[in-house]
Structure 1
């Protein structure tokens, strides 16, 4: 599939797809005229890359763990530790977001009550 088709299927921009390729996260073949051609499995790979980026992983970390995530037969001793570090970081961010949500919810209730009592 061409880059525009992959972009449409995943919601990623063509620019992002080229960046993923530059970072070694995605592979394409060049067709006639130099156009990039991606296999169908690239759709799931791009979705995974985007999920990991949204979770805050760097492209370097994703490049390290992607082969192991994509191919369950690959086992490396450091993978569980590396992923555990990322999980702890994400859980910490979630806890921070919960605290922020609670503060904001309290402020909304406070100011909503004041607006009603006027």
Structure 2
């Protein structure tokens, strides 16, 4: 499928899709006319990359951890540098913090809904 269709399916702009490709995060095929050709797997990858970017991870981290997220742990570097591991750990901690805040907010909204429905 073409870039416009992928943009509609995923909610990711065509410009962002081109950026993901330039960053090495997705690799669409090419049609004979040079247009990008996205398959189902690539569309799933776009959704995954977009979610990681929305979560605050930088492209350089995403690019390095994507093979592991696909279950290809054998593609990880033999000995990743400590700086990279520290950065990944920091990103994970930030995600954990955001998840905790979101969970508290979800619980507060659920309690509000329950109270409001009980009072009605």
Answer yes or no: is 1:50 the counterpart of 2:50.
Answer: yes
CA RMSD after TM alignment: 2.7
> Partner of 1:24: helix, strand, or coil?
coil
Q: Unmatched 5+ residue regions in structure 1?
A: 102-118
The residue that corresponds to 2:72 in the other structure is 73
- Give the C-alpha shift of residue 89 in structure 1: 1.6
TM-score by length of 1: 0.69
Query: d(CA) in 2 for partners of 1:38 and 1:97?
Result: 33
TM-score by length of 2: 0.68
- Give the C-alpha shift of residue 87 in structure 1: 1.9
Relative to structure 1, the CA distance from residue 29 to residue 73 in structure 2 (aligned partners, 3 Å threshold; closer, same or farther) is closer
Query: d(CA) in 1 for partners of 2:91 and 2:98?
Result: 11
Deviations 1:58-86 (A, max 9, x none): 0111001111112x132446598765432
Deviations 1:28-62 (A, max 9, x none): 12212211111111121111111101110001110
Q: How many residues align?
A: 99
Query: d(CA) in 1 for partners of 2:32 and 2:97?
Result: 48
